[in-house]
Structure 1
Amino acid sequence: MTPPPSPEVALAQTSLLQAMIAIAPKSVRIGCRVIRDGDEAHLLPDEARSIPARQPAMRRASGAARWIAHGLLADVGVNGFAILRAPSGTPVWPDGITGSLAHDDDMAVATVAHVAHIASLGIDVEPAQPLPDDILALVATPADRTDAAERHLAGRILFCAKEAVYKAAYPLDGEVLGYEDITVDLDACRAVTKTGRKVSLAYCAAPRVVVLAFVDAG
């Protein structure tokens, strides 16, 4: 079992959780966890077997993200469900539930909702730091709109948004998308893919950049 968090870790989790809850629709459950040693033990046996990564850091991150998701699923009455990794790399959710997992080097996040309210979810997390110029050149297109975001974090939020949109769109459309295939408007908090899929966005930029992408049911 992992040791209890230090006061600093607990504060980091609480601060981010508050920011995430503030941006999420009421029908969406969301959570976070600072990744720490031993989190790989939170993987259920079937989950552990479905995840090909053998690097300890990756397995810790996967364990942390699934630990959050297990708690969120329990909140909606689903207990002991193994969130397997599909061959496509996407997590497999219970019938009637949509969800998403993400992590950076230090923080894991997860979100779930009933498909009766939200058709599909995507989430991504990144450090609240400027995006390197070489990565921004790969991510941004002339059609993207980021004026509403803090200038020094606009590129990072854009990157995070496109990652989250892909996670929300793929289960619905089965389409592999590149960054150039997703147009993001942070001013309007929405995005559209090359297939015409419209996705709503919500984001926070402190204490970490988190973007939630979602497609409303119906």
Structure 2
Amino acid sequence: MIGELLPDVVVTEVAYGDPPQARLEPEEEAVVARAVEKRRLEFTSVRHCARLALGRLGVPYRPLVPGLRGTPSWPEGVVGSLTHCDGYRAAAVARAGELTSVGIDAEPALALPEGVLEVVALPSEQRRIAALSAAHPHVPWDRVLFSAKESVYKAWFPLALRFLEFTEAELTISADGTFTARVLVPAPVVDGRPLSGFDGRWTVRDGLLATAIAVLPASTPS
């Protein structure tokens, strides 16, 4: 599902549950030594996906220990992103020369809990979500927005090394499966250009929804 949202230079692996063969390296085990079982399983399974994806990319696996703000410590020369929710785990990786950054997120295709939209969405976004919901009531648009903002953050942080609040990016979601994000804070310069926004894609299928952003190098045609 997520693989369909990303360019061909990105290798993705998914698991619809927790593979029994999934394992952790000792450094990773130490991170979740005191975690509850659900957290341990998610942490292990999503790294199993990353191990397989890196193998297909031709890159030896190394422990993906959370670094600054919890971001995975990818091998040198690799950009990547991880996501997990109930019943779904996924990893996306690419060579840094072919992709500048990537952000993925998966969520249950359900409406957000009451009150959450008002916390994560700007007034302009809330108005657009209301219009989309009226026109296409079968899609949980508030959750799509939430997921897209998660993907924005995952693509943004490795480049900016700065936390991005939900309300520091304004998103416009289209019913055609695309979205755009405009960053409302000073943008870092990446590949000689300000990183002031993102283009992404979304999909809903089989009780799940996914969003993804791929930031191509400046010299790559979009």
Short-chain TM bin: 0.7 to 0.9
Aligned to 1:155: 142
Aligned to 1:124: 105
**Contact 1:122/1:164, CA 8 A, preserved across alignment:** yes
Aligned to 1:166: 153
**Contact 1:203/1:212, CA 8 A, preserved across alignment:** yes
AA aligned to 2:217 is: A
**Contact 1:128/1:153, CA 8 A, preserved across alignment:** yes
**Contact 2:61/2:75, CA 8 A, preserved across alignment:** no
Matches within 5 A, 1:29-108: 29-36=11-18, 42-51=23-32, 54-108=35-89
Percent of residue pairs identical: 28
Match of 2:168 among 175, 181, 184: 181
Give 1:57 shift: 0.7
Instruction: Find out whether 1:114 has 2:95 as its counterpart.
Output: yes
Match of 1:191 among 166, 170, 181: 181
- The alignment's TM-score, normalised by the length of structure 1, stands at 0.82
Distance between the aligned counterparts of 2:25 and 2:86, measured in 1?
Answer: 21
Aligned to 2:193: none
User: CA 1:132–1:93 in 2, change beyond 3 Å: closer, same or farther?
Assistant: same
User: CA 1:119–1:52 in 2, change beyond 3 Å: closer, same or farther?
Assistant: farther
Q: Any idea what the Cα deviations from partners look like across 1:81-137, whole Å, max 9, x if unmatched?
A: 211111421101111111011111332111111121221111111101122231111
Secondary structure class of the residue paired with 1:189: strand
Aligned to 1:10: none
Secondary structure class of the residue paired with 2:80: strand
Secondary structure class of the residue paired with 2:70: coil
Give 1:36 shift: 3.0
Secondary structure class of the residue paired with 1:203: strand
- The alignment's TM-score, normalised by the length of structure 2, stands at 0.81
**Contact 1:37/1:60, CA 8 A, preserved across alignment:** no
Q: Which moved more, 1:164-173 or 1:109-118?
A: 109-118
Distance between the aligned counterparts of 2:144 and 2:34, measured in 1?
Answer: 27
Give 1:194 shift: 2.2
**Contact 1:98/1:115, CA 8 A, preserved across alignment:** yes
Q: Any idea what the Cα deviations from partners look like across 1:62-83, whole Å, max 9, x if unmatched?
A: 1110100111101111123211
Distance between the aligned counterparts of 1:137 and 1:162, measured in 2?
Answer: 14
**Matched residue count:** 199
Secondary structure class of the residue paired with 1:214: strand
**Contact 1:23/1:202, CA 8 A, preserved across alignment:** yes
Q: Any idea what the Cα deviations from partners look like across 1:29-75, whole Å, max 9, x if unmatched?
A: 12211233857x52221222244651111011011101001111011
Q: Which runs of 5+ in 2 are unaligned?
A: 188-195
Give 1:179 shift: 0.8
User: CA 1:75–1:37 in 2, change beyond 3 Å: closer, same or farther?
Assistant: closer
Q: Any idea what the Cα deviations from partners look like across 1:165-199, whole Å, max 9, x if unmatched?
A: 11110111111111111111222522122234322
Distance between the aligned counterparts of 1:25 and 1:53, measured in 2?
Answer: 38
AA aligned to 2:77 is: G
